[in-house]
Amino acid sequence: MDRSLKFHLEQACGSARAGVLVTSHGRVPTPAFMPVATQGSVKALGPDEVEEIGARIVLANAYHLCLRPGVGLVRKLGGLHAFSGWEGPMLTDSGGFQAFSLGRLGRLTEDGLLFRSHIDGSEHLLTPESSMRDQLGLGADIIMCLDQCIAVGEGREAVGRAMERTHRWALRCRDSRRGYPQGEGGALFGIVQGGVFEDMRRESAGYVTSLDFDGYAIGGLAVGESKAEMYGMVELVTPLLPRDRPRYLMGVGAPEDLVECVYRGVDMFDCALPTRVARNGALYTPQGRVDIASGRFRDVVGPVQDDCDCYACRRFSAAYLHHLFKTKEILGLRLASMHNLRFVLRLMEDIRQAIAEGELETFRREFLAAFTPTDEGARQSHKEAWMRARGMLGPSGPA
C-alpha cells in the first residue's frame, strides 16, 4: 500500500479516539467530518469559506467528475485540487453508490457496474480497475475501493452475495493500485460490508483487513435501517479494525449520529445532510433543528444560535435569515449552509476536546439530553421514498 497517508493516534477515551491524519496536502485532526463536494465544490460555498468554517478535508464524487468534466481534463488542468481551488486533503468515493442508485439505468456484472450516464445516456462500465485509474487520475489524497451496494430490505442471501463480490473487487482494487507508482496521494481504503448481519460483518472485517489497506470504511449503513441497528453494527465492527489505521463511517452526518459513532470508535465521516437540510431552511442548534422560515423567527433580533461563531450568526439576525428564505434569496442558502457546516465541524472539535480531557461520556450525555433528533419514523419514511424513487429498495423495503 501507498502509506503516503499517516495516521497518528494521540489519545483514546473508551472506544473513542483522537488522532491526526497526515497527507501531502495537510494534516487533519480526527475525529473529522468531511463536507461533501460532489462536483468538486461544496454547494453554494467557495473553498476559502469551507476552510474558514473549519473543514480540513472534503469529499468529491468520482462518478460525477468522471462523467463531467472528465478525468482527462481535470488532470490536464493540474488535478482536482488545482481545478477546484481546494488546497487541503481530499477524498474521492468510487462512484459505486451513484452507479447503483441509477436503478433502471444500471446493470451489475461480476466485472463491474454497467450503467448509462444520467447526463447523455452514454454507456459506461465501472470496474475496480477503472475506479482506481480514475480516482488516481483525479489526484485525490484518499481513494475508495469499488464495492457493491445492496438494496435496503434485501435478505441474507443477497447481502451475502454482495459482500463476497465486494471482497473480490477489493482484492482487484488493491492489486490494481499496486500497479501504479507509489508516489504522493492515492491512499486506498477498503470497505466492510455485510448489512445488519453480525456474522457477515465479522467475516467482512476479517477479510478486508487481511488485504492491508491504508484505512477502513464501514459501508452499507444509514440506508434505511434503524439507528439502533446502525449503532450496533458500528460497535461490532470498530474493534475488528486495526488500531493504527483510520476508521471511516460512510454517509453519516446527523449530529446525534456523529456523537454516538465517535463514542463507538469511528474517526471519519461524510454526509451531504448538513448542507442539504440547510438549503431547505433547517438549521442546527444545540436543541435540534429549527425551521428558519417559521413565523417564530420573523422578528427575532439575535442570531439563530447565541454562542455560534459562524459568519451567519456573527453578522446577521435570525429575522434576516427568515426574510432571505421567505423571499427565496440565494444568500439565505449560503448562510444556512455556513451555519450547519460550522455546527457540525465545531461539534467534532468539541468531541475531540472531550476525548483529550477524558470527558467524552459526560459530553455525550449532556449533548444527547439537550439535542432533539429528527423523528426516526419520519426520517425513515423520507429515506424510503428517496430510495424507492431510485429503485434502491429490496422486495421487503427497509430492514
Rounded to whole angstroms, the Cα distance separating 75 from 343 reads 34
The DSSP line for 73-110 is HHHHTT-HHHHH---S-EEEE-SHHHHHHTGGGEEE-S
Q: E strands of the chain, at which residues? A: 6-13, 16-23, 26-30, 32-34, 36-37, 58-61, 90-93, 106-108, 113-116, 123-126, 142-144, 187-192, 215-218, 247-249, 268-270, 282-285, 288-291
Handedness of CA 282, 284, 288, 293 (dihedral sign): negative
Q: Is 333 helix (H, G, I), strand (E, B) or coil?
A: helix
Catalytic hit among 141, 147, 267, 270? 270
Contact 362, 263 (CB under 8 A): no
40: left (phi over 0), alpha (psi -120 to 50) or beta: left
Collect all residues with Cβ–Cβ distance below 8 Å to 295 and sequence separation of at least 6: none
Residue 21, sorted as left (phi over 0), alpha (psi -120 to 50) or beta, turns out to be: beta
Q: Which residues pair with 12 in a beta bridge?
A: 17
Q: Which entry of 93, 147, 257, 267 is annotated as an active-site residue?
A: 93
- Residue 353, C-alpha cell as written in the block: 476536546
C-alpha cell at 226: 434503524
Using CA atoms, how far residue 22 sits from 47, 68, 212, in Å, is: 20, 30, 18
Say how far residue 340 (Cα) sits from the centre of its chain.
15
Count of positions (residues) in the chain? 399
Question: Is 270 a catalytic site residue?
Answer: yes
Measure CA 154 to chain center.
Answer: 23
Catalytic residues: 93, 270
